[in-house]
Chains A and B, each alone.
Chain A
Amino acid sequence: MSETAEKVKKIVVEHLGVDEAKVTEDASFIDDLGADSLDTVELVMAFEEAFGVEIPDDAAEKITTVKDAIAYIDGQKG
């Protein structure tokens, strides 16, 4: 697992209070991990803070799974 993936999963576990095993790369924050729309806003803010990146609202809306988050962050870090 990449460093980004590990960190993303850790943040998801902490913020959504879910079991680590459930946080697979395909897991959807809302459908699989019990998040609501406010939770996802907060999650994106946590990613921004942890990785020092800016995630604009239109990009944030497309981040619905763990995999999406990892891909976006890796893309930003170039």
Chain B
Amino acid sequence: MFAQAAAPRRVVVTGMGIASPLGLGVERVWKRLIEGQSGIAAIQSFDVKDLPAKIAGQVPVGTRAEGGLDLAEWIPVKDQKKMDRFIQLAVVAAVEAVEDSGWMPEDEEGRCATGVMIGSGIGGLTTIYESSQLIAQGKGKRVSPFFIPSALINLASGHVSIRYGFKGPNHAVVTACATGVHALGDAARLIAFGDADVMVAGGAEAAVSEIGMAGFCASRALSTAYNDTPTEASRPWDEGRDGFVMGEGAGVVVLEEYEHAKKRGAKIYAEVIGYGMSGDAHHITAPSDTGDGAFRSMRAALKSAGVTPGEVQYVNAHGTSTPLGDDLELGAVERLWGDDARGLAMSSTKSAIGHLLGAAGAVEGIFSILAIRDGIAPPTLNLEKPSKDSPIDRVAKVAQERKIDVALSNSFGFGGTNASIVFRAAP
């Protein structure tokens, strides 16, 4: 089958949607982000007394007009209960992205050329927890017929395809915290190689729940020192960092073959020019101690983009605010960029929204695209005193105006999986 492969086609971004702790709606979230606002707060939605970490980034409740989430505005009541929250958030972001793109195929050919690839790191964790509670209480017969389709990760893609009649490739990525970047990169490749002309791609996560928090607390991954000052908890590269802050949300983009987008006069945000991946082969949760996995992932992405490190002006870091990971990634970027590190801006937007796990790469990809569009590097909040000096400008606390033509976004996940994606200004 690959023997007949044609030359890869160009892929551009024509629609974007976000549900995040800074609210709903790409432009609103971006504005809040570059103003330096934080979406991290004390958890109110369940009892946290037994949890060492008591804060998170949760999607605010409210109307669409004010940037909050009122599910009734997005999903019919009858369908809401067929979806775990991660699917609901995926649908919300996908609706915004599809509406933004203006792409609504009117014939069967167009529908069959439009696919969906929305992943999640964990999927319907809360639904699994609640259903298992029923069994523990001897109420196994009360397990909902919607339990399985509500928990399955690929049902985010399934629901979006059903809603719009998109009959092209229907796929889902599951690579922990690298999911979002893998979804964007893999979907771009499907277009590049002709499997689809348009892909709705992204990631969604909703693990801010008792069981999700308990699990990440047990793996000693979360910040616990800032429960009383939640907005200060996510502090990538700062010497006071002590773990990541859980976040929930979804990021979805519409990727489109360049000529297809041009022909219909679509607004083009940016071009996806490169994508790279690597594996650490080191440890289930810890990054490799040399940052080698991150290094090879970024190097592969730049190679596929055909650009040198010096041509990249902005990196959206994985930068989760964990003691080990932040400086390893920084070291890998310094090594790859060499003398060009001095001109580079790199920030971690997790400082404002927390770590959205499987949604992180998609949301941060959107931030990287907006950084190009507006010539603004979003800030790394709470970076008061870096634990390690670097020639790289980490955009401490305040956004910076910069000319950005090319941006790279990193995501690394448990299991030692790494992904990097490269965007360039619209052609």
Task: Name A residues whose Cβ lies closer than 8 Å to a Cβ of B.
Answer: 15-18, 34, 38-39, 41-42, 45, 49
Contacts and interface: CB of A to CB of B under 8 A. Distances in A.
B78 A38 contact: no
A17 B77 contact: yes
Interface string B64-86: 00000000000011110010000
A24 B13 CA distance: 49
B144 A45 contact: yes
A28 B317 CA distance: 55
B264 interface: no
A7 B381 CA distance: 54
Given A15-B78, A17-B76, A38 B142 contact: no
Contacts of B129: none
19 contacts: A15-B78, A16-B78, A17-B76, A17-B77, A17-B78, A17-B79, A18-B78, A34-B78, A38-B82, A38-B145, A38-B146, A38-B149, A41-B145, A42-B145, A42-B146, A45-B142, A45-B144, A45-B145, A49-B142
A70 to B, nearest CB: 21
Contacts of B144: 42, 45
Interface string B386-417: 00000000000000000000000000000000
Contacts of A39: 78
Given A17-B78, A42-B146, A45-B144, 11 more contacts: A15-B78, A38-B82, A38-B145, A38-B146, A38-B149, A41-B145, A42-B144, A42-B145, A45-B141, A45-B142, A49-B142
Chain B interface mostly: helix
A1 to B, nearest CB: 23
Interface of B: 76-79, 82, 141-142, 144-146, 149
Nearest to B144: A42
Contacts of B145: 38, 41-42, 45
Nearest to B143: A45
A14 to B, nearest CB: 8
A59 to B, nearest CB: 15
Nearest to A15: B78
A42 B143 CA distance: 9
A15 B76 CA distance: 11
Contacts of A15: 78
Nearest to A41: B145
Contacts of A38: 82, 145-146, 149
Nearest to A54: B141
A22 B142 CA distance: 27
A26 to B, nearest CB: 21
A49 B139 CA distance: 11
A16 B80 CA distance: 11
A54 to B, nearest CB: 9
Contacts of B77: 17
Contacts of A17: 76-79
A18 to B, nearest CB: 8
A42 B81 CA distance: 11
Contacts of A41: 145
